[in-house]
């Protein structure tokens, strides 16, 4: 797969711009590819978020630093009753979801609102939009970008996010494209591993489930490979990330994390899952401190706050 929709060394924008008058048009696909070779600027600003391969370690480090800032901001707001950030005030995010979603859509919308922005949303665009009348994705994107400053797209076809990004002159974030990729899930997964274990180099990672068709594990494998001395297993003693196996009913019941697994799992291990779960992890595992999947879901808010900030106003 092409590795190139990467980080763009664009200039820092003011914190409170008038978004439509100050936000510069994003370069064409060819211009972005050539800019990607320049690496990460001191103040990172992204073009689109399409696939895991577009990030190098420098980009990941900065995204995670901003995510930690967002975590601190959110905790401070909650604990002290401080006012919400207004860094994205005046910006509009459109969420176009052609597939069902709970955590991804709501966390993006919460992230935008936490930073002072506004949201235009459609929950089932495949059925309740002009797509049901036969409108092409490209025409939908051209229309929606006239109403918004950034588009978050989930689609049932692999490659749909890349098509949308090639069409739009505003940033596009891939929130999952069929069996293709889910880069923001991978970002929050790697961020969670770092927060839980304290390092990303030298870890052992177990991936369990429908790996051939699982976009979350595909993106995670690309991202985690940026680090050194990584070992990936189908079953691992350090980090276990379950992938739901709803596409393969025959496999149900064969891969389950339960109390018996916990008994042989190291104390420093971490159990992760992109959710929703079926029967892959029993509910009695939830109380174990190694069960990180709800903390993982919360980290999705901070990662997506960081991405929206970086995409729209820079560091």
Q: Which residue ranges make up each domain of the chain?
A: 7-182+300-312, 184-298
The answer as to CATH 3.90.1150.10 being correct for domain 184-298 is no
Q: DSSP code of 293?
A: H
Backbone phi and psi for residue 127, each to the nearest 5 degrees, phi listed first: -105, -35
Question: Coil, strand, or helix at residue 153?
Answer: strand
Burial of 37-74, coded b for 16+ CB within 10 Å and e otherwise, reads eeebbeebbbbbbbbbbbbeeebbebbbebbeebbebb
Residues 176, 296: Cα–Cα separation, whole Å: 17
pTM for the model stands at 0.76
The dihedral of CA 96, 102, 104, 106: what is its sign? Answer: positive
Backbone phi and psi for residue 144, each to the nearest 5 degrees, phi listed first: -65, -35
Residues 117, 110: Cα–Cα separation, whole Å: 10
CATH (one of 3.40.640.10, 3.50.50.60, 3.40.50.1370, 1.25.10.10) for 7-182+300-312: 3.40.50.1370
The confidence score (pLDDT) of residue 255 equals: 76
Q: Taking the chain (315 residues) in consecutive chunks of 10 residues, what is each chunk's mean pLDDT?
A: 36 36 35 37 63 91 95 74 79 90 88 94 64 77 94 91 94 89 92 94 83 75 92 62 53 76 90 84 92 93 95 88
The confidence score (pLDDT) of residue 133 equals: 59
Residues 255, 264: Cα–Cα separation, whole Å: 15
The structure tokens listed for 264 are 């042989």
Q: Which residues pair with 206 in a beta bridge?
A: 233, 240
Query: Among residues 64, 62, 31, 25, which one has the least CA distance to residue 44?
Result: 62
The confidence score (pLDDT) of residue 101 equals: 76
Catalytic residues: 103-104, 133, 154, 182
Task: Confirm whether 7-182+300-312 and 184-298 share one CATH topology.
Answer: yes
The confidence score (pLDDT) of residue 23 equals: 33
The confidence score (pLDDT) of residue 28 equals: 36
The structure tokens listed for 159 are 């490659």
């Amino acid at each position: 797969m092409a590795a190139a929709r990467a980080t763009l060394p664009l200039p820092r924008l003011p914190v409170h711009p008038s978004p439509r008058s100050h936000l510069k048009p994003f370069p064409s696909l060819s211009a972005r590819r050539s800019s990607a070779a320049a690496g990460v600027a001191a103040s990172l600003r992204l073009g689109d978020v399409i696939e895991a391969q577009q990030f190098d370690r420098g980009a990941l480090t900065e995204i995670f630093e901003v995510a930690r800032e967002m975590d601190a901001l959110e905790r401070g707001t909650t604990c002290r009753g401080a006012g919400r950030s207004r860094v994205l005030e005046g910006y509009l995010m459109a969420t176009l979801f052609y597939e069902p979603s709970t955590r991804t859509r709501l966390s993006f919308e919460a992230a935008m609102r936490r930073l002072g922005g506004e949201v235009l949303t459609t929950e089932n665009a495949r059925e309740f939009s002009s797509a049901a009348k036969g409108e092409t994705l490209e025409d939908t994107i051209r229309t929606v970008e006239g109403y918004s400053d950034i588009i978050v797209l989930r689609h049932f076809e692999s490659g749909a996010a890349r098509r949308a990004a090639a069409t739009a002159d505003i940033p596009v974030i891939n929130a999952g494209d069929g069996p293709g990729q889910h880069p923001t899930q991978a970002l929050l997964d790697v961020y969670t591993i770092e927060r839980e274990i304290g390092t990303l180099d030298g870890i052992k990672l177990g991936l369990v489930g429908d790996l051939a068709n699982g976009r979350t594990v595909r993106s995670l494998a690309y991202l985690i490979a940026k680090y050194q001395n990584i070992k990936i297993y189908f079953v691992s003693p350090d980090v276990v990330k379950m992938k739901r196996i709803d596409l393969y009913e025959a496999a149900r019941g064969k891969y389950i994390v339960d109390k018996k697994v916990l008994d042989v799992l190291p104390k420093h291990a971490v159990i992760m899952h992109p959710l929703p779960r079926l029967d892959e992890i029993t509910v009695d595992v939830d109380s174990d401190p190694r069960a990180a999947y709800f903390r993982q879901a919360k980290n999705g808010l901070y990662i997506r706050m960081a991405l929206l900030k970086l995409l729209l106003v820079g560091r």
